[in-house]
Amino acid sequence: MKFLRSSALTLAVGYIGLGLAALALFAAPLWYAWRVTIQEGRNEILQSDALRLTEVFRREGAQGLISYVNTRVGMQIAGERLLLVADAALNPLAGNLTAWPASVPANPGTYIVKVELDSRRTDVRRVTDVALVHAILPGGYHLIVGRDTERYLPLERRFWYALAGAVAILSVLGTFGGILIRRALMARIHGIGQTISAIIQGDLSQRLPTHHSGDELNTLSRTINGMLDQIEQLIDGIRNVSNSIAHDLRTPLAELRSRLEVLALTKPAAEHTFAEIDAAVADVDGVIRIFNALLRLAEIDTGLRRSGFVPVDLAAIAAAAVEFYQPAAELRGTALSLEIRGPAPIRGDPVLLAQALGNLIDNALKYTPGDGTITVAVRRAGDSSVEIVVADSGPGIPDAEKSKAVERFYRGDASRCTPGVGLGLSLVDAVARLHGSELILEDNHPGLRARMVMTQDTRQITRVARATSEEGELQHEPVYP
- How much is the average pLDDT of 145-156? 78
pTM check: above 0.85: no
Q: Give whole-number Cα distances, 100 to 51, 82, 135, 373, 427, in Å.
A: 20, 12, 13, 121, 107
* pLDDT tops 70 at residue 32: yes
How far is 440 from 452, CA to CA, in rounded Å?
A: 6
How far is 19 from 167, CA to CA, in rounded Å?
A: 9
In the structure, what pLDDT confidence band is assigned to residue 472 with cuts at 50, 70 and 90?
very low
**Whole-number pLDDT of residue 470:** 44
Q: Are 133 and 110 in contact (CB under 8 A)?
A: yes
- How much is the average pLDDT of 186-200? 83
Least confident of 74-88, 328-342, 439-453: 74-88
In the structure, what pLDDT confidence band is assigned to residue 244 with cuts at 50, 70 and 90?
low
How far is 20 from 13, CA to CA, in rounded Å?
A: 10
Least confident of 71-85, 262-276, 341-355: 71-85
**Whole-number pLDDT of residue 121:** 47
Q: Are 419 and 290 in contact (CB under 8 A)?
A: no
List domains and CATH numbers for the chain.
2-155 (3.30.450), 216-301 (1.10.287.130), 304-471 (3.30.565.10)
* pLDDT tops 70 at residue 412: no
**Whole-number pLDDT of residue 139:** 86
In the structure, what pLDDT confidence band is assigned to residue 422 with cuts at 50, 70 and 90?
low
**Whole-number pLDDT of residue 76:** 60
* pLDDT tops 50 at residue 458: no
How far is 373 from 380, CA to CA, in rounded Å?
A: 23
Q: Which residue in 424, 429, 436 sits closest to 451, CA to CA?
A: 429
Least confident of 253-262, 379-388, 427-436, 466-475: 466-475
**Whole-number pLDDT of residue 243:** 64
* pLDDT tops 50 at residue 465: no
* pLDDT tops 50 at residue 475: no
**Average pLDDT of every residue of the chain:** 78
